[in-house]
């Protein structure tokens, strides 16, 4: 019985980094958002090849989403980028466009987090979307992985 309480206590730790399972009513937005997460994760890991591959996937999925031209322009730049700095600069603008798109869409399951790093873009700050509350900064990767905060919960 004590073991049960111990296990339950461990599993119910506050601030756990559980990911929210996301679904949208519009399957095209859902696909684009999931491809955006692949791109964000590649930037968190500072993997140029992974970011390029994810940008190409996102560009394809955005092609079928209405009113996605601004996001498409940024992801097109990213598909041609060769440095992490280029990827991250376009990612800031892409994240703003994706935020507008996902807020206009309807979630059918889960929550999204709009997160913010005040030091990104030469201290002008930048946002990104995540499906987990834990901060994993795509603008600095492992240099400043935890820099940032949740600014909004989108449900």
Q: What is the pLDDT of residues 30-75, one digit of tens each?
A: 999 999 999 999 999 999 999 999 999 999 999 999 999 999 999 9
Residue burial 44-64, b: 16+ Cβ < 10 Å; e: rest: bebbbebbbebbebbbebbee
Write the pLDDT tens digit of every residue in 64-109: 999 999 999 999 999 999 999 999 999 999 999 999 999 999 999 9
Cβ(91)–Cβ(58) below 8 Å: no
* pLDDT value at 29 more than 60: yes
Q: CA Rg, the chain, in Å?
A: 16
pTM for the predicted model, two decimal places: 0.86
Examine the pLDDT at 27 and tell me if it is beyond 60. Answer: yes
Kindly indicate the confidence band of residue 18, based on its pLDDT and cuts at 50, 70 and 90.
low
């Amino acid at each position: 019985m004590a073991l049960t309480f111990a296990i339950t206590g461990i599993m119910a730790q506050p601030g756990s980094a559980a990911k929210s399972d996301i679904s949208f009513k519009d399957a095209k937005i859902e696909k684009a958002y999931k491809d955006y997460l692949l791109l964000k994760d590649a930037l968190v890991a500072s993997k140029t090849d992974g970011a390029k591959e994810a940008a190409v996937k996102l560009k394809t999925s955005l092609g079928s989403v209405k009113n996605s031209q601004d996001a498409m322009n940024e992801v097109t730049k990213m598909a041609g980028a060769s440095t992490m700095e280029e990827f991250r600069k376009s990612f800031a603008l892409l994240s703003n466009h994706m935020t507008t798109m996902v807020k206009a869409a309807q979630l059918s399951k889960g929550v999204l987090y709009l997160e913010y790093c005040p030091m990104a873009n030469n201290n002008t700050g930048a946002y990104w979307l995540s499906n987990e509350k834990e901060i994993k900064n795509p603008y600095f990767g492992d240099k400043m992985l935890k820099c940032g905060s949740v600014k909004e919960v989108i449900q």
